[in-house]
C-alpha cells in the first residue's frame, strides 16, 4: 500500500475537503490542531454550530482524566498529550571540591562567559591537541554517566530516580552535572518522555510500560563540557514508537557521515530533514546542535532543518553536538485513493509553564539522539560513543 506524505491541511467541514490555510482562532488559543482548519470564512460559518463543540470538549477534558495522569499544577493549561508534570524533589547539591562552571553559583543561573561570547564574534574555536584530549576525557565520563542511567531504566522507576543515579555518578566521577542550575534548570539531567521533545525535568512520575524516554546527560570536568543523549524503550513499546526511534537514530547517523573538514554546517539540516520526511516524520525547528568545549553552548549553531543560513565550515579541531529531535507523524487511510496519507507530524513545539519542558504541538511522540563530535583531518571522532558502538535501544533486551 503506497503512502503519500503530505504537509498541508484540508478543510474540516464535511463534504468540503478543500485546501485549508485558515484556522479557527479559538482552536489556536486552545492549542487544538485537528479540526481547526478551514478553507474560508463562509465554510467556517456554516459549520460553526457543530465545530464549537470541539472547544467545549477541549476545555473540559483538561480537567478530566481520560487515561491522563492527575497532578496538574497549572489549571487551565492545555496539555497536548497525556503526560503531566509530577512533583519535584528538592535540589541536589554538588560537593564543593568539584570544579563548578560559572553559572552554578549565579542566582539566575546565567553564564557570563557564554553571554560574553555571544556578543563577540561567532568565530568557531579550534581546539589545541591538549584541549582535544581534555575534551575526550570529559566526553568519556559523560558516556559513563549515560550508560549508568540507561542500565538502570525499568518500568515503574521514576525519572527522579534516574536523576539521582546521574547525580551520584557525576559526583563519583568528580564532575559537575552541567544542566544543574543552568539558567535555573533544577535537575542534573533532562528526561523527556513520549511527547516531550527535550528538556524534560526529572520528577516523581513512574515510567510506564510502553513509554519511550530520552536521557540527556552533560558533564563538566577539567573546565570542559560534554553533551550526549539517547532515547530508550521502557517495557513493550509499540511499532510506531520503534520506527520513530530508529528513524531518529538514522538521522543522526546520516549527519555523522558528513562530518569532515570542508562540510558546511548548514548542510547538516538538509540531510536530516530529508531522511525524516522520507519516513513520515518531521524535524523540530526550535532547538539546534551547538559548539561545545569550555562553554556549554557556543558557536557554531547547527539547525537540524533544511535550507538554513547557518554560518561556518567544519575544520579540524572544531567540537560540537548534533542532536536531531524528530517527531512522529499522523497517518490516516484514504479509502478513495486506497493508500495512506501521512500528515507529516507537526514540528512545532509548545513550552510548558515550567519554562523548560518542550512538548509536541500535536501530542505525538518525539525522539532524539545526540553525540559530541570532534572534527579530525579526515573525518571526525565521536567522543561520546558507546564502546559497543551501538545505542541502548538496539541492544534488544526490553527493559522490564
Partner 1 sequence: MDNDDSIPTLVDETTKVPVTILTGYLGAGKTTLLNYILTENHQRRIAVILNEFAQGSAMEHLLLTATTDEKGGDGRQRYEDWLELRNGCLCCSVKDVGVQAIEQLLEKRRNHFDYILLETTGVADPLPIVNMFWLDDELHSDLILDGLITVIDAYNGLKNYADDRHQEKALWSRQVAIADVILVNKIDLISQEEKSKIIELVRSINVTAQIYETTRSHIDLSLILDRNAYSKNSPPDYLLKNIPDQATTLIPHGNQTLNSVTMEFNGQFDFDKLDHLIIELLWNEQTSEQEIVRMKAVLCCSDESTYKLLQAVGQMYEFISTNEKHCDNLRNCFVLIGSNLNQERLREQFQKCLK
Measure Cα distances from 3 to 145, 329, 332 in Å.
41, 12, 10
Nearer Cβ to partner 1, position 204 or 310? Answer: 310
15: left (phi over 0), alpha (psi -120 to 50) or beta: left
Segment near partner 1 (CB under 8 A), from 66-74, 138-146, 176-184, 253-261? 176-184
Number of residues that bind partner 1 (CB under 8 A): 54
CB of residue 4 to partner 1, shortest distance in Å: 21
CB of residue 248 to partner 1, shortest distance in Å: 17
Query: 167 labelled as ligand-binding?
Result: no
Segment near partner 1 (CB under 8 A), from 89-97, 119-127, 153-161, 162-170? 119-127
CA atoms of 122 and 244, how far apart (whole Å): 34
Measure Cα distances from 338 to 10, 153, 280, 281, 343 in Å.
18, 42, 18, 21, 16
CB 319 within 8 A of CB 135: yes
CB atoms within 10 A of CB 347: 24
CA atoms of 85 and 78, how far apart (whole Å): 12
Query: 290 labelled as ligand-binding?
Result: yes
Query: 18 labelled as ligand-binding?
Result: no
Nearer Cβ to partner 1, position 25 or 396? Answer: 25
CB 159 within 8 A of CB 151: no
Kindly state whether residue 355 participates in binding partner 1, applying the rule CB under 8 A: yes
Segment near partner 1 (CB under 8 A), from 120-128, 162-170, 237-245, 389-397? 120-128
Q: Hey, what's the cell of 319?
A: 567540537
Kindly state whether residue 32 participates in binding partner 1, applying the rule CB under 8 A: no
Residues of the shown chain interacting with partner 1 in the complex, contacts defined by CB under 8 A: 21-26, 28-29, 38, 40-41, 44-45, 48, 52, 55-56, 108, 110, 115, 118-119, 121-123, 182-184, 199, 264, 285-290, 296-297, 301, 303, 305-309, 311-313, 323, 351, 354-356, 358
Binding-site residues for a protein, please?
A: 199, 297
Amino acid at each position: 500500500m503506497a503512502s503519500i506524505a503530505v504537509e498541508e491541511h484540508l478543510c474540516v467541514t464535511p463534504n468540503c475537503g478543500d485546501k485549508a490555510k485558515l484556522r479557527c482562532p479559538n482552536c489556536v488559543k486552545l492549542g487544538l490542531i485537528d479540526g481547526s482548519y478551514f478553507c474560508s470564512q463562509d465554510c467556517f460559518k456554516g459549520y460553526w454550530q457543530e465545530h464549537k463543540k470541539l472547544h467545549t470538549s477541549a476545555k473540559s477534558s483538561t480537567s478530566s482524566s481520560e487515561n491522563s495522569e492527575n497532578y496538574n499544577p497549572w489549571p487551565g493549561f492545555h496539555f497536548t498529550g497525556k503526560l503531566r508534570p509530577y512533583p519535584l524533589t528538592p535540589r541536589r547539591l554538588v560537593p564543593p571540591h568539584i570544579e563548578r562552571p560559572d553559572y552554578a553559583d549565579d542566582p539566575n543561573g546565567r553564564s557570563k562567559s557564554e553571554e560574553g561570547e555571544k556578543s563577540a564574534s561567532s568565530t568557531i574555536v579550534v581546539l589545541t591537541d591538549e584541549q582535544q584530549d581534555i575534551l575526550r576525557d570529559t566526553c568519556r565520563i559523560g558516556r559513563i554517566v549515560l550508560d549508568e542511567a540507561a542500565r538502570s531504566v525499568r518500568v515503574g522507576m521514576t525519572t527522579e530516580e534516574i536523576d539521582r543515579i546521574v547525580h551520584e555518578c557525576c559526583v563519583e566521577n568528580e564532575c559537575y552535572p552541567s544542566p544543574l542550575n543552568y539558567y535555573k534548570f533544577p535537575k542534573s539531567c533532562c528526561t523527556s518522555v513520549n511527547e516531550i521533545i527535550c528538556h524534560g525535568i526529572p520528577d516523581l512520575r513512574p515510567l510506564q510500560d510502553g513509554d519511550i524516554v530520552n536521557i540527556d546527560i552533560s558533564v563538566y570536568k577539567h573546565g570542559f563540557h560534554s553533551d550526549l543523549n539517547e532515547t530508550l524503550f521502557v517495557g513493550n513499546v509499540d511499532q510506531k514508537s520503534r520506527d520513530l526511534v530508529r528513524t531518529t537514530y538514522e538521522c543522526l547517523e546520516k549527519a555523522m557521515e558528513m562530518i569532515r573538514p570542508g562540510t558546511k554546517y548548514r548542510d547538516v539540516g538538509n540531510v536530516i530533514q530529508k531522511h525524516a520526511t522520507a519516513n513520515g516524520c518531521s524535524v523540530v525547528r526550535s532547538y539546534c546542535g551547538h559548539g561545545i568545549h569550555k562553554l556549554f553552548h557556543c558557536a557554531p549553531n547547527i539547525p537540524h532543518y533544511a535550507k538554513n543560513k547557518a554560518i561556518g565550515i567544519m575544520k579540524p579541531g572544531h567540537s560540537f553536538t548534533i542532536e536531531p529531535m524528530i517527531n512522529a507523524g499522523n497517518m490516516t487511510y484514504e479509502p478513495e485513493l486506497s493508500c495512506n496519507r501521512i500528515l507529516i507530524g507537526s514540528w512545532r513545539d509548545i513550552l510548558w509553564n515550567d519554562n523548560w519542558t518542550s512538548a509536541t504541538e500535536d501530542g505525538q511522540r518525539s525522539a532524539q539522539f545526540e553525540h559530541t563530535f570532534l572534527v579530525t583531518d579526515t573525518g571526525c571522532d565521536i567522543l561520546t560513543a558507546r564502546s559497543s558502538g551501538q545505542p541502548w535501544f538496539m541492544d534488544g533486551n526490553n527493559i522490564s
